[in-house]
């Protein structure tokens, strides 16, 4: 990691790590050039926006982020979200302008989250929501590429929008585009399925894998040659890219535009953070390292603000490219700086060549790339383990495909929370008795223990939080109904790690309810930090019971 660990000596870095980082940068750039063009087109933006989003954002992440493996830049899923969000921009604002506003909002939201230490918000997206989203988005992306693949002028990010657009344009197709597009898909699939095993007969597995990875590049070059030789008049090409212009400009400051794009920006920021964090964690685990979520938030915030200031679009870490960076042996975040340099070089030198790239072939690479990750396995596994969560997953996937991402993620988050509330609404409270001859107390249902008819000993097995305390008094009353002789209720609080305001209120209400039945509420083994908080909050002004250091002591107190 250059900014911190390499300070002892730049020469040490140059000797030790530069070589490895340069190889990783070269390998990933070969993949990044076509992907950045393709994802910009997928988002409904000019192709060069993708290249700009692969320059300064990488420098910003290298400066502020923490992972030496993440490759930040245009991502397919984000491109789909950007397309859907741009549809909500007010009339008269060009998509490129709106994309800058969107990137600025994403960057500011992530920076605010870093400042407010909201890194825990990543938990909002549970595994069923994430997996359902991924499956739905994969299918939606593949569907959105069909028009480009077949040379149709239709556009849309959901199945309904695509159908209407295709209907409005009379289902027009272009034969040369379709031939090139479908041919490219066939070539890409063949290279994945057949080329690898074939090559392994002649060379080692490592070399074969490297050559297979270069297959998409070979397909693109072949397509370039065909187009250059035949020049079919109707074929849609990338077209001339404007010359490299790295001038920093502020995104348009218009309250109406910013407001219209804010909900989409919030969803994009959440998804960019969670997906990048997931990639970072997964790669860190492979190397036995740990991730600092706040540093990731800061790195992503910087990358998106850089994109907003330099003609890009919202960015995040790409899983496939980051794995490539990790596998190719990257040693530090300086890899990102090298990738940015290579991308700048590509913009300067390759622009005349890239202009000849047929859009149908780019679409083919997207379709093959995203569909290779599609699997029904997560659904099957979830269905076996938990029907309700599997239904949530399928609902999110369908909503992404049919209704759009914001609604799907919004309802997915609400669904996760509803399931959580349904499962945790009653705090787990165990009736405990004394293990004969000892001072230990254990669950009556699982051990042979002695009960005291005068004192009801209960163990609160969870923190007392608003999700579960509503029924605390009811759970205790249910135990009392079984043991009506009890004059005191002694709650063993050792498993309680926290009590929020709702929990405090529930304890107060429980004490009052017991007082009306002429029973006293006592506590035992309250954890130190919990007790400190209670005392600071004026707990002892209303609490009329006693607090015992040990449960045994509390059970035998005559007072």
| Listed ranges 92-100, 119-127, 161-169, 327-335: which one lies at the site for a second copy (CB under 8 A) | 119-127
Q: Counting contacts by CB under 8 A, is residue 127 touching a second copy?
A: yes
Q: Counting contacts by CB under 8 A, is residue 221 touching a second copy?
A: no
Q: Counting contacts by CB under 8 A, is residue 431 touching a second copy?
A: no
Cα R_g (the chain), whole angstroms: 30
Q: Which is nearer to a second copy, 374 or 418 (CB)?
A: 418
Q: Counting contacts by CB under 8 A, is residue 417 touching a second copy?
A: yes
The site string for a second copy over 444-483 (x = CB under 8 A, - otherwise) reads: -----------------xxx-xxxx-x--xx--xx--x--
Structure token pair of residue 8? 């002892």
**Which helix H or strand E contains 460, and what residues bound it?**
strand 455-460
Short-list 141, 189, 134, 184, CA closest to 162: 141
Q: Counting contacts by CB under 8 A, is residue 389 touching a second copy?
A: yes
89: left (phi over 0), alpha (psi -120 to 50) or beta: beta
Q: Which is nearer to a second copy, 202 or 385 (CB)?
A: 385
Q: Counting contacts by CB under 8 A, is residue 266 touching a second copy?
A: no
Among 353, 381, 453, 540, the residue binding a second copy under the rule CB under 8 A is 381
Dihedral sign, CA of 365, 369, 372, 375? negative
Short-list 47, 58, 149, 27, CA closest to 353: 47
Q: Which is nearer to a second copy, 222 or 282 (CB)?
A: 282
Q: How far is the C-alpha of 410 from the C-alpha of 415, rounded, in Å?
A: 9
Q: How far is the C-alpha of 325 from the C-alpha of 513, rounded, in Å?
A: 62
Q: Counting contacts by CB under 8 A, is residue 493 touching a second copy?
A: no
Q: Which is nearer to a second copy, 121 or 398 (CB)?
A: 121
Q: Counting contacts by CB under 8 A, is residue 350 touching a second copy?
A: no
Q: Counting contacts by CB under 8 A, is residue 96 touching a second copy?
A: no
Residue 133 CB partners (closer than 8 Å, separation 6+): 77, 125, 271, 396, 397, 400, 405, 408, 409, 412
Q: Counting contacts by CB under 8 A, is residue 421 touching a second copy?
A: yes
Among 91, 120, 255, 376, the residue binding a second copy under the rule CB under 8 A is 120
Q: Counting contacts by CB under 8 A, is residue 5 touching a second copy?
A: no
Q: Is-contact 50 11, C-beta < 8 A?
A: no
Smallest gap from Cβ 538 to a second copy, in A, equals 5
Smallest gap from Cβ 114 to a second copy, in A, equals 14
Q: Counting contacts by CB under 8 A, is residue 193 touching a second copy?
A: no
Short-list 498, 455, 500, 496, CA closest to 479: 455
518: left (phi over 0), alpha (psi -120 to 50) or beta: left
Q: Counting contacts by CB under 8 A, is residue 511 touching a second copy?
A: no
Smallest gap from Cβ 69 to a second copy, in A, equals 15
Bridge partners, residue 488, by sequence: 455, 520
Smallest gap from Cβ 296 to a second copy, in A, equals 12
Smallest gap from Cβ 478 to a second copy, in A, equals 7
Interface of this chain with a second copy, residues 281 to 340, rule: CB under 8 A: 281-282, 285-286, 288, 290-291
Q: Counting contacts by CB under 8 A, is residue 123 touching a second copy?
A: yes
Q: How far is the C-alpha of 524 from the C-alpha of 347, rounded, in Å?
A: 69
Span between the terminal Cα atoms of the chain, in Å: 63
Among 8, 234, 250, 385, the residue binding a second copy under the rule CB under 8 A is 385
Dihedral sign, CA of 424, 427, 431, 435? positive
Structure token pair of residue 127? 């595994």
Number of H helices, E strands in the chain: 26, 8
By CB under 8 A, name the binding residues for a second copy: 117-124, 126-128, 281-282, 285-286, 288, 290-291, 381-382, 384-386, 389-390, 393, 416-425, 428, 461-463, 465-468, 470, 473-474, 477-478, 481, 495, 497-498, 500-502, 504-505, 509, 512-513, 516-517, 533, 536-538
């Amino acid at each position: 990691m250059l900014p911190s660990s390499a300070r002892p000596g730049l020469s040490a870095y140059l000797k030790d790590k530069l070589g490895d980082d340069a190889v990783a940068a070269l390998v990933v750039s070969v993949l990044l050039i076509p992907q950045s063009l393709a994802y910009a087109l997928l988002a409904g933006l000019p192709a060069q926006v993708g290249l700009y989003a692969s320059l300064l954002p990488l420098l910003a992440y290298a400066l502020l982020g923490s992972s030496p493996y993440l490759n930040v830049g245009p991502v397919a899923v984000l491109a789909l979200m950007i397309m859907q969000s741009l549809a909500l921009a007010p009339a008269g604002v060009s998509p490129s302008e709106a994309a800058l506003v969107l990137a600025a909002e994403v960057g500011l939201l992530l920076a605010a989250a870093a400042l407010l230490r909201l890194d825990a918000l990543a938990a909002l997206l549970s595994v069923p929501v994430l997996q359902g989203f991924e499956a739905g988005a994969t299918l939606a992306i593949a569907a959105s590429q069909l028009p480009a693949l077949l040379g149709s002028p239709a556009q849309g990010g959901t199945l309904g929008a695509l159908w209407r657009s295709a209907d409005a344009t009379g289902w027009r197709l272009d034969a040369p585009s379709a031939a090139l597009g479908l041919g490219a898909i066939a070539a890409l699939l063949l290279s994945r399925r057949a080329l690898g095993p074939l090559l392994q007969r002649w060379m080692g597995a490592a070399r074969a894998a490297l050559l297979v990875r270069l297959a998409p590049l070979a397909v693109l070059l072949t397509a370039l040659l065909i187009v250059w030789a035949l020049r079919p008049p109707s074929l849609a090409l990338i077209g001339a890219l404007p010359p490299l212009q790295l001038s920093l400009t502020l995104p348009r400051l218009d309250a109406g535009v910013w407001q219209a794009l804010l909900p989409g920006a919030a969803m994009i920021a959440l998804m960019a953070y969670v997906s990048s964090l997931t990639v970072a964690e997964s790669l860190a685990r492979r190397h036995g390292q740990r991730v600092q979520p706040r540093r990731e938030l800061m790195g992503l915030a910087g990358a998106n603000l850089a994109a907003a200031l330099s003609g890009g679009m919202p960015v995040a870490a790409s899983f496939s490219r980051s794995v490539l960076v990790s596998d190719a042996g990257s040693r530090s975040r300086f890899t990102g700086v090298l990738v940015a340099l290579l991308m700048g070089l590509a913009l300067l030198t390759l622009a005349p060549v890239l202009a000849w790239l047929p859009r149908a072939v780019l679409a083919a690479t997207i379709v093959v790339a995203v569909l290779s990750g599609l699997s029904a396995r997560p659904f099957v596994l979830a269905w076996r383990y938990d029907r309700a969560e599997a239904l949530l997953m399928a609902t999110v996937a369908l909503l992404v495909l049919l209704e759009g991402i914001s609604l799907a993620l919004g309802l997915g988050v609400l669904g996760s929370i509803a399931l959580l509330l349904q499962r945790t609404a009653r705090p787990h409270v165990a009736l405990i008795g004394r293990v004969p001859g000892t001072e230990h107390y254990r669950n009556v249902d699982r051990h042979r223990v002695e009960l005291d008819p005068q004192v009801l000993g209960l163990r609160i097995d969870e923190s007392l939080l608003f999700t579960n305390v509503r029924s605390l008094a009811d759970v205790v009353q249910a135990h009392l109904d079984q043991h009506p002789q009890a004059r005191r209720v002694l709650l063993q609080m050792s498993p309680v790690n926290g009590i929020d305001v709702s929990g405090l209120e529930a304890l107060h209400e429980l004490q009052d309810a017991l007082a009306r039945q002429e029973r006293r509420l006592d506590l035992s083994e309250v954890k130190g930090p919990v007790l400190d908080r209670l005392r600071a909050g004026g707990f002892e002004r209303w609490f009329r019971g006693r607090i015992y250091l040990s449960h045994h002591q509390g059970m035998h107190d005559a007072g």
